[in-house]
Structure 1
């Protein structure tokens, strides 16, 4: 596998920082469910996928890059590339368009995806290409992995990064909400961008029994596909905040006023998750009463069902009594 254009000193520091990142994620017990992912994170060089990134500062975003002048600046870039934090990688007029997710969250998602040898995987949201490289390393076959993004600039840079790291999954420019029909059927679909509902095209492009893992309403939804029109599953207990999907599958959220709600409630993460999940269908005061009455439920008590023409979210049981329609 190629290691890019960096010198030996840089590569040695990168290897040390990568090992430290793996130890940190290991200490959190993330890989207990599927230890093979530890090998992928230990092998895939994240710094090749973030040749530059942006760090928020007092005067806006500061750009850090691997070809910058001065050894200290390059070391700061490299150490940041292996920090367990999300990295802003693409901005437009001050708006974040793309990022490299927090590595420990990526690890949790990949373990939850429950990938098996020989699976065909679709990634929605190519980002830097790093996640696709991890999948390609895990599966040992580039052709099993497809990654799609709406922005040509993002897919072009992801392809360059993947080439530099020695991986060649299929990179597609297109609307991820529509899937990638020519590469179907898929055994797994993983999204690295926030959606407001589950695109029906994904189900139609999955084999029966396929697994879909997607960010939804600040949570991570894991669905099992029954057929092209039916799927069901629950949320992981992990909070997750991602850049929204761009394209046909994106709907702009309506503002929600929290005026009149107790301060202790407004700041509670699991209450805000309920608000995001039921936005437009449940009044914040009603949501507050339900949340307190049901014992302040965490994300893992919620789920989503796609059934024919309907998609709905629910608490505890798909049949209710608490259920809310999704777009």
Structure 2
């Protein structure tokens, strides 16, 4: 890391976490605030390098949505260690962004063994320019959808994603050499905090969650909650209501939410002024201080309560006890061992075991 100058990969304007009480992000311009810009470049902080997918007309001076960044240096180092990089390994990075991480990978495996794919053409162009200027002309940067990998460079010994996924793309499995590894941040619509390390063999990828790191989602897997769309006066009048029989405090427990997120794909969680809400594609639940209102084909809160009870009976396992199996049959979460699949609920209140033999 001392050999790669991070500032050479940052644009003149960046955004950092705001230290004001209301949170949000603060714009930092190298030309007008050079001290803070340099401190951000070489501090152990994530530096946002693009917001709102580069569409300036959508910008708000304070409340912006980060869409690309130079990751926290300590997290970058943890990922490099977890990926077990070594000289001569061929590595595909998903989400080249600034090019900084690809330069670090190049230092370890060799420039001609490092390939980065970036979906945003402007970011790919700037990453290529930064890498060239920093002396990494042999590293490859291509513009494309990282979910599809990069076939011309396959097979790879490592696929390392610096963008989170909710579903590990099958092309990554197909483009990884047998015995190779896929390392990617993993998120759910309930909670995103896991880095999963998958070993590829026999046409499938299997492995545990190894780090509690969070990254932005790949663009093709962003999912918006539908609560505001589904929560109509008519739906409210037709909702099923009962007294609150379970403490909803578990909806604030990150370990519980990680486990529930694996089993309730597509279910979102949010907060309103006087309660909590959950929503899926066609259902919602609203929880106030005394009642639960549920509408649609599913009773989402009841499902979450049942899964939370089961999670407690299992000993309230943390993230590191879970893993994934990914192959042509789909993506299956498991607990402790790859043969112990956990049920996934997708449509009805009854658990659906997605295990396929």
Who is 1:111 aligned against? Answer: 81
Q: Is the 8 A contact 1:203 1:225 kept in 2?
A: yes
Alignment root-mean-square deviation, CA: 2.3
- Give 1:233 deviation, angstroms: 0.5
CA distance in structure 2 between the partners assigned to 1:175 and 1:123 by the alignment: 12
Runs of 4+ in 1 over 3 A off after TM superposition: 56-62, 253-256, 259-264, 323-326
CA contact (8 A) 2:116 2:141 kept: yes
User: Structure 1: which 5+ runs fail to align?
Assistant: 1-40
Aligned to 2:255: 270
- Aligned pairs for 1:56-75 (under 5 A) are 56-57=17-18, 61-66=25-30, 68-69=31-32, 73-75=33-35
The aligned residue for residue 96 of structure 2 is 126
Match of 2:196 among 221, 243, 251: 221
Instruction: Call closer, same or farther: CA 1:145–1:296 in 2, change over 3 Å.
Output: same
- Whose strand fraction is larger, Structure 1's or Structure 2's? 2
Alpha-carbon shift at residue 178 of structure 1 (Å)? 0.4
Q: Is 1:164 the counterpart of 2:125 in the alignment? A: no
Q: Which SS does the other structure have where 1:90 is aligned? A: strand
1:293-320 residue CA offsets vs partner (Å, 9 max, x unmatched): 1222111100111243232011112222
1:157-177 alpha-carbon deviations (Å, 9 max, x no partner) = 111221222213100100100
SS in 1 for 2:217: coil
Pairwise mapping of residues 213-292 of structure 1 onto structure 2 (< 5 A)? 213-217=183-187, 218-227=193-202, 229-236=203-210, 238-247=211-220, 250=221, 252=223, 262=247, 264-280=249-265, 283-292=303-312
> Is the CA contact (8 Å cut-off) linking 1:254 and 1:279 kept in structure 2?
no
Deviation by residue 1:117-159 (Cα, 9 ceiling, x = unmatched): 21100000112111101000112x2110011111101111111
Larger relative contact order (Cα-Cα within 8 Å, sequence gap ≥ 6): 1
Contact 2:16 2:46 survives alignment (8 Å): no
Residues in 2 aligned to 1:95 and 1:273: alpha-carbon distance in whole angstroms:
23
The equivalent of 1:53 in structure 2 is: 14
Aligned length: 275
- What is the TM-score of this pair, normalised by structure 2? 0.71
How far has the Cα of 1:278 moved from its partner? 2.0
1:280-319 superposed matches below 5 A? 280=265, 283-319=303-339
Gaps of 5+ in 2: 53-57, 59-63, 188-192, 228-243, 267-299, 345-353
State whether structure 2 residue 53 is matched by structure 1 residue 79: no
SS of aligned partner of 2:2: helix
Alignment match, 1:28: none
Q: Computing the radius of gyration over CA atoms, which structure comes out larger, 1 or 2?
A: 2
Deviations 1:221-277 (A, max 9, x none): 0000004x31110101x2222111013xx2526569xx8763542222211211222
Taking the aligned partners of 1:80 and 1:261, their CA distance within structure 2 comes to 45
- The 2-side partners of 1:86 and 1:287 are apart by 34
- Give 1:280 deviation, angstroms: 3.3
Give distance in 2, aligned partners of 1:278 and 1:174.
31
The residue matched to 1:128 in structure 2 has which SS?
Answer: coil
Q: Work out the CA distance in 1 between the residues paired with 2:7 and 2:245.
A: 47
- The answer for the alignment partner of 1:137 in structure 2 is 107
Contact 2:194 2:212 in 1 (8 A): yes
Show the counterpart of 1:90.
Answer: 50
